[in-house]
Structure 1
Amino acid sequence: MKKLFIAMFLIVGSFAVEAQELQWETDITKAVKMSEKSKKPILMFFTGSDWCGWCIRLQKEVLKTPEFAAWAKDNVILVELDFPRRTPQSDEIKKQNFELQQFFGVRGYPTVWFATATKDKAGKIAFTQLGSTGYVAGGPTAWLDGANKILKKS
């Protein structure tokens, strides 16, 4: 019995550690460099982290799960583009997030865009839009099914 408990604790603990290891970038330039190096597309999560109920729900039900963490580690570079009401942000981050919101035509939250990106010699970033999604009922399995369909189209 004791061995079973220890084994279960280790299994559950490994999922918790994996979920905590996710690295969400906030600097799109850094994310593009990572994407070019790894050849992985970028997942951009447009959110209102301190006021948007559906964003908080997407985080809880999908983005903070072990299933999502395992999938993300192998498939995408994660970028959080936040539009908080109470949490302070630098002017640089606000400007970057607004420009990306305009470019991708984001009108509501949460919105998740998948894209590939390249940077030219002048430092200008060019995006190729692969597709978008938002909150999907059904937990990580349903959300990841949709994400995989978007990524397979590219």
Structure 2
Amino acid sequence: MYTAYLTHTALLLSMMTCMAETEPPKAVPVNPPLTTAESLAWHTNLEKAIARAQKEHKDIYLEFTGTDWCPGCIHLKNTVQATVDFRDRARSNYICVLIDFPRKTKLPEQQAAYNEEIRSRYNITSFPTVLLLDEQGRPYATLAGSSKNVAEYLKRLDEAQTIKTTRNTAFDEVSQASGDAEKLQALHRAMQTVSPAFHPCYPDILKEIERLDPQNTLGYNGTEARANIEKQQRKDYETLLDESRNAYRAGKLQTCIELTDKFLSRTDLIPPIRQKALIQQHTNYAMQKDLPKALQYLKDAHAADPDSKEAKRIVPFIENLEQHLREDHSDEQ
């Protein structure tokens, strides 16, 4: 029974691992492939890319990748980005930026630290992830993973462009608004077009909304402060993971449990971070073969942030573990 559950735990670990990449479809050879001269020029500094984008009035294609190890990233490069169709679209519309996290090669220390800062800024947790930014550097769409072929990927880019178009239409309505109430609603419509995760990247808009909505009826006030708290807590959680990995490699599973207990004792944890830590503790107890406790921590993780995507993904794991425990109890009788 426990062996079967270890398979479950392995699946959960792969589900929750930071920087986990989705298994891509089989790469489609590009014939003929682009030559070096034909290929795109990729920036490695976002600020310089934004400056160029403003001069050329282009958007920014910001890719987070693991070029020498991530299957989805390699697939995206070989099947999509190596084509003339993608190159022509990118050259016409974007300044391309590559934020790389290789494993087989070592980046210069300064570049590696810079890449980590940019990754943290946008809370990127999987590769490949592409953010589309306007020329001011404000993100408006996310493209996660690769695609079967370049046509499918270009269609996704088209769909992302409609988000920007809708957003800009709402921004245009702001200047035409007849009063503060109408202006506030136009700003709200604009912000609703993009992911809430992007809202802190619109500080001027948030400041104006706060001025127009001092009672915070729309709930935007404090967005930047909340984002900063979440960013810091994510860093704290990553530190916990690093310490736990070191302890696990040293065969000190009980230390992993104690480290996670200490982290969970914090009363300031926001729901998404508490949920991650509870899942981590579930895994610790599962590896210790204490499945009843593992189940309880998994249920607590679901309750910590029940409307999150992770909560929905946890449900079948809870059901699976409950079934294992029922079968084990039945065998004992």
TM-score bucket (shorter structure): 0.7 to 0.9
Q: Does 1:36 align with 2:46?
A: no
* Offset from partner CA, 1:78-132 (integer Å, 9 cap, x none): 00100011212122211221111112121110101111254xxxxxxxx311111
* 1:141 corresponds to: 151
Q: Any unmatched runs of 5+ in structure 2?
A: 1-30, 165-333
Contact 1:19 1:65 in 2 (8 A): no
Q: Distance in 2 between matches of 1:73 and 1:17?
A: 15
Q: Greater relative contact order (Cα 8 A, min sep 6): structure 1 or 2?
A: 1
| Aligned counterpart for 2:118 among listed residues 100, 125, 143 | 100
Contact 2:44 2:98 in 1 (8 A): yes
Q: Distance in 2 between matches of 1:71 and 1:117?
A: 16
| Aligned counterpart for 1:78 among listed residues 96, 120, 127 | 96
Percent identity for Structure 1 against Structure 2: 27
Give aligned pairs, total.
Answer: 134
Contact 2:73 2:146 in 1 (8 A): no
Q: Does 1:65 align with 2:83?
A: yes
Q: Calculate the TM-score normalised by the size of structure 1.
A: 0.78
Larger radius of gyration: 2
Q: Cα RMSD between the aligned structures?
A: 2.1
Indicate the SS of the match to 2:34.
helix
Describe the shift of the 1:148–1:18 C-alpha distance in structure 2 as closer, same or farther (beyond 3 A). farther
Q: Any unmatched runs of 5+ in structure 1?
A: 1-11, 119-126
Contact 2:128 2:144 in 1 (8 A): yes
Contact 1:18 1:66 in 2 (8 A): no
- Between structures 1 and 2, the one with greater strand share: 1
Shift, 1:152, TM fit: 2.6
